[in-house]
Structures are given as C-alpha cells and as structure tokens.
Amino acid sequence: MLDSFSAQFGTILPSLEGKRILLAVSGGLDSCVLLDLMSRQSVDIAVVHCNYKLRGDESDADHQLVKQLAKEHNLVLHDVAFDTKTMLETTKESLQMLARALRYSFFDELCDAHSYDYVMTAHHADDALETFLMNWSRGSGVKGLEGIPRQNGTILRPLLDFDRHTLLQYAKANDLQWREDSSNASEAYLRNQVRLTIVPALKEVFPNITDKLRETQQHLQQANDLISAYVQGLEGVVWNATTNGLTIDLTALSKVNSPNGVLYQLLSPFGFTDWDAVYRLPKGQSGTEVRTDEYELLNDRELLILQSISSKSFEYYTIDSAEQTDHLPIDLYFKQVKELSSCDKNTVIVDADLLNWPLKLRTWQAADRFFPFGMQGSQKLSDYFINQKISRLEKEKIWLLCSDSKIVWVVGHRADDRFKVSNNTKNLLQITWRD
C-alpha cells in the first residue's frame, strides 16, 4: 500500500516536493493511516484536529490521541474546539453541513496564516461509494455522480484508491493506534445507513464494486468535461455572464440540442433543486420565477435572468415623526383618527400606541417575515408574494413600513396583524400611500 500511495504524487496528484502540507486528523482509522503514510514521505507536514464537543469524553479522548501522535512524529499540531451544539441552535444547517463549514473555514485560516500549500483529508474508496449512492438517490446529474474528487483546489484526497479493509490491514500490520467513533454505529444519519446496510450488501454481490466505481467515475468525468466544454462554447450565443449571475436567451436556447440539459448545466451550481419548475420557466409568463435561498431565476420576456437575491439594492429611510415625510421616496401620510373606518389597499389603520418611533421605510429582503393581517402565525414575505402571484417586477417596487425590526405594513398590500386595532386600542393612526 505504501508504494501505491507514494506513487500518486507527481502523477495523478501534484508533486509535494517543497510543499507544506496540513493533514486533517480526527483520530479515527482513516486519518491515522493517512498520518502514518505521510510521515514516511519526504515532505513538510503538520496536523490539524477539530473537536466538535459532541461526544463528551469521547471527543476529548480523540483529541488526546491526536496530540500524542503529533508529538510522537514531532509534528506541529493545530487544534480547535467548537461549541457545535450552541451553533446548531442558531443555524438551520444540518450537523454534517455545519461541521464541514467549521472545519474547512479553520483549514483556510491556517493555510493563510502559515502558508500551507495543501490540505489532505482521509476520504477513501468506501466514502466515494457512499457519496455516489447518496447523490444517485437524490437524482443528481453527471457532476454529482463523479463523486469525491482527488483534488479540489488545495484539498487533496490521496486515499481514494484504497477501501476501508485495505486501510484496516495496513493499520494492523503497522501496529497503529486509532479510535472508533461511536456515532458511526448510529443509523440516525443517512450516510451511516448507507454505510452499515447498503454498502455491505453491494460488496457481497459485487466484491470489486469500489474498483469498478473508480472506472465508472473516470468515464463520468470525461463525459462531464465534454458537456462543460459544449455549454461553455454557447457563451455569447445562448448565455452571458453578469456581475451577479447570468442571462439566458430563450430564443437561442430553444434552438440547441437538449435545452433542459443546458439549463441544468448552467444552473445546478446555484442550488436549484426543483428542476420541473426550472424547465417550465422558459414557457411560462413573463414575471414568473424560481428561487433558491440565494438566487432567483426570472422569466423576463425573451430572457431568463439569474441573479443573487442579496445583490438587490437596499434602501432605508427614517421617519422621525408623522409630519416629516417629505424626504421619503413614496408619498406616505399619517393622520390621527377617532374611529375605525373601511380601508383599501392604499390605507391602513393601526394601533398608534404599539408603534415605536422613529419608524423606518425600507426595501424588502429575502429573510423578511411578517404576520399577515387576519392570519395565524408568521409567513416569509417571499412566500406571501408567491401566493399573491406578485411578479418580480412588482416586488422590486414594494416598500416595508417598520417599527423597530417588525413590519407594520407591506405598503399597498397587507398590514401586519401585530399592530391591528383591538378593543383595548385608545389611539388610532391612519396611514395612506398615494401611488
């Protein structure tokens, strides 16, 4: 195994001569084998360990083993502890995605601070098989089925030619120390379910499946290179890059082979998952759109326009008093009234005592939520727009009147239920927009 491992560098992986390498070592079998193999190369290496504090004493014991191994090999150790549980409470990310983001951010910081050329991780052939099966089950395209790349920028994965059984044999033959992560036995995570049930069954039927997967993924890589080159050649004809996305000429798109395939290749890097909606969009009405958390894809007559939601311009105005509205970009008027009267879309009446001046008038943002008048609970403003069939062009003209961080009125559309007049209301404020 050592000879095969060493032979990669300068061939299918870059030469490590004169390079500084950062090894990600968790304390498990895979990374401990990687540490031993790399310690036998003539190269400058250091170790990094991330403690996510998720398994109590077990996590700390992993850390202690990595410290011990780094000391035995006379290597620099960079270690960090994350308060992962607290972070999970304040983010919508899954545990796996959060942990990945944390460690790779730490890797980047270390590379910048200490001039490391590459980071090595211990992903192996079984990891590649698991990733292939998971992506396949999600309906992934060719790119997703390529699996884990050997090199992704400065990230190197030199164990992808070796399965876990080979790593285990090497570890035992060389009397290596490692620790087993008890969470790997839990089927609470999809990857563990694949690892513990599907992969053993496949290996029993197809003993050389990891070798054949490598061949298949090489073919997929070649196919994806051809597809990418074809789509890249359509730049300037079918699509054009913009400062925060791209535009797609619908007439030109309709004339190419496999328009949906071109759309998938162009748009999959931007996080789209509802492909049926994306493929319907070119034939939809102008103003219809499909969104991800970060991007919106709009049908604008003869074009599809992809742009970052965060790039939308943000405007903000302070309203110090009911009399000071001349500086606003829209005509708003405030008036004290004595009784509740009927209102139209351009007028609302609210409980004046619930407002906290100064008020704010601002453009809406993707994360905005409000409590639509007459409804129970809150709703994302973007979902409200979809339900009300408000086009993208209309949305760009919408303003929010806010008290502190709370929306009082989606101007010209709907008031927020939290400021409604009740039996306890003593002071009523009428707000009118003249469009």
Tens-place pLDDT, residues 360-381: 999 988 778 999 998 888 888 9
CA dist 38 and 327 (Å) reads: 66
Stretch 271-294: mean pLDDT? 86
Lowest average pLDDT, out of 113-127, 306-320, 420-434, goes to 306-320
356 pLDDT above the threshold of 80: yes
CA dist 6 and 41 (Å) reads: 7
Contact 181, 99 (CB under 8 A): no
pLDDT band at 312 (very low <50, low <70, confident <90, very high): low
Highest mean pLDDT among 174-188, 294-308, 361-375, 419-433: 419-433
Highest mean pLDDT among 294-308, 336-350, 405-419: 405-419
Lowest average pLDDT, out of 171-180, 265-274, 402-411, goes to 265-274
pTM summary value: 0.61
Torsional sign, CA 264, 270, 274, 279: negative
CA dist 32 and 65 (Å) reads: 10
More confident residue, 185 or 336: 336
Residue-wise pLDDT for 99-135, tens only, equals: 888 898 899 999 999 999 999 999 999 988 988 888 8
What pLDDT is stored for residue 145 in this prediction?
84
pLDDT band at 92 (very low <50, low <70, confident <90, very high): low
pLDDT band at 310 (very low <50, low <70, confident <90, very high): low
Mean residue pLDDT of the chain comes to 89
CA dist 232 and 247 (Å) reads: 14
Contact 144, 138 (CB under 8 A): yes
More confident residue, 352 or 273: 352
What pLDDT is stored for residue 281 in this prediction?
92
Cβ within 8 Å of residue 262, ≥6 positions away: 231, 234, 238, 253, 256
78 pairs with which residues across the strands? Answer: 48
311 pLDDT above the threshold of 60: no
Q: CA 332 from chain center: how many Å?
A: 39
